[in-house]
Structure 1
Amino acid sequence: MTNNIVQIANISPENLETLINKRFEYHFEELKKALNNQNANDDLMSREQVLDLLQIDASTLWHWQKKGKIPVYKFSNKCYYKRSEIMNCLTPLKK
Structure 2
Amino acid sequence: MNTKPLHFYQTTPEELTENILKGVDNKFQEFFDKYHPSKNEEELLTLEEALIILKCSNQTLWNWRKEGILPSYRLGNRVYLKKSDIYSNLIKQDFNG
TM range (shorter): 0.5 to 0.7
* Secondary structure of residue in 2 paired with 1:37: coil
Map 1:25-64; keep pairs closer than 5 Å.
Answer: 37-39=37-39, 42-64=42-64
Q: Which amino acid aligns with 1:88?
A: S
Q: Provide the rounded CA distance (Å) in 1 between the counterparts of 2:72 and 2:64.
A: 10
- Counterpart for residue 68 of structure 1: 68
CA drift of 1:76 comes to 1.5
RMSD: 2.7
- Structure 2 unaligned blocks of 5 or more: 1-32
Match of 1:92 among 85, 91, 94: 94
Q: Which amino acid aligns with 1:75?
A: L
Higher helix share: 1
Q: Provide the rounded CA distance (Å) in 1 between the counterparts of 2:57 and 2:49.
A: 12
Number of equivalenced pairs: 61
Higher Cα Rg, which structure: 1
CA drift of 1:41 comes to 6.2
Q: Identity of aligned pairs, percent?
A: 30
Q: Provide the rounded CA distance (Å) in 2 between the counterparts of 1:75 and 1:37.
A: 21
TM-score by length of 2: 0.54
CA drift of 1:78 comes to 1.0
TM-score by length of 1: 0.55
